[in-house]
Amino acid sequence: MYDLEWLLFDNMHHQWLLLAACFWVIFMFMVASKFITLTFKDPDGYNAKQEFLFLTTMPETGKLREEKHFPEDMKPTGKMLSDRQPDQPLVYLERLELIRNACRDEALRNLSHTEVSKFVLDRIFVCDKHKILFCQTPKVGNTQWKKVLIVLNGAFSSIEEIPENVVHDHEKNGLPRLSSFSKAGIQKRLKTFFKFFIVRDPFERLISAFKDKFVHNPRFEPWYRHEIAPGIIRKYRKNRTETRGIQFEDFVRYLGDPNRRWLDLQFGDHIIHWVTYVELCAPCEIKYSVIGHHETLEEDAPYILKEAGIDHLVSYPTIPPGITIYNRTKVEHYFLGISKRDIRRLYARFEGDFKLFGYQKPDFLLN
């Protein structure tokens, strides 16, 4: 009897030891997993370096882009060219291929081609030290890219040191424009430098421009409200007894008017905030190295820094959560009450931007 009790006790003892060992292994596995997560998580996500090769090599095998799930009213209109989740470098090659195909489309020629004029060259900022050209597309996070270039050009040692009033002061920010060089210097830089710009959904960009210049006006630029807005209202407001300031409907009617050119000439370079990407950067005439999308800026910004070979020198400023996500509800709100005729005329002007950069036609507004 004693021996039987001892065997039962011994067996239970071994079972408890085995159970304790299992808990110990699980506990260590959890600790190790947490450690690995903390160790390899890059808070900025902007660390990598690679020399750029323009469409002459196959893309490297990289990690797959993380699939993002958006609510129905916040889905980005920038569409992928494939249903699968491609390697990141392939995404950027597909964007360039899409541009090349659209540029060859004769039906789009008037909407996709433009002269590389002084207006275009004035939009392109130069970093000679690192052989970079950046085409400015206002209302697409350009202030942050200007800060990156200012640091690279040596005017300031870090992005945090740059005063906000200096960023857009082209006499103080140390950013030369491509137009300031000789014809030979321009051609040399266009041929040999790394070139990029950023786009976003064209209609959402127009909403951002309207809010920034005519509603909030955070940099206190009174000419938008006191000179440009009255000019738009006088020509495009239907209800002449309406005394409110400029409304988004007035703005849409102005932008969609094929005969607006004379007004654009009066407004001068201020129109850069709402003209097409084609007019700003001439993507069919200039072979850009990378096209970034505002909707995927969290991935695109570090990729651009890496491809330009400058990721070890500077980081793109922290992107506030959710700020780059396309917001269909906001777009619908701003276009509510605007006639289908006016929206279709607006789309007719910006159709080239939609098709060149893979943004879906906004049928929910047009039909």
C-alpha pair distances (Å), 103 with each of 93, 112, 281, 288: 15, 6, 13, 13
pTM above 0.85, yes or no: no
Q: Are strands 132-135 and 194-199 parallel, antiparallel or unpaired?
A: parallel
The counts of H helices and E strands in the chain are 17, 4
d(CA 61, CA 43): 23
Q: What tens digit of pLDDT does each residue of 238-247 get?
A: 887 778 899 9
Other beta carbons within 10 angstroms of residue 356's beta carbon come to: 26
Q: pLDDT tier at 67 (50, 70, 90 boundaries)? A: very low
What average pLDDT does the segment 341-366 reach?
A: 98
pLDDT at 11: 53
- Nearest-10 crossing angle of helices 202-210, 328-335: 60
What pLDDT was estimated at residue 23?
59
Cα radius of gyration rounded to whole Å, the chain? 27
> Is 40's pLDDT higher than 60?
no
81: which 2 tokens? 């060219």
**Beta strand 124-127 with 194-199: parallel, antiparallel or unpaired?**
unpaired
- CA 268 remoteness from chain centre: 25
Under 8 Å between Cβ of 124 and 133: yes
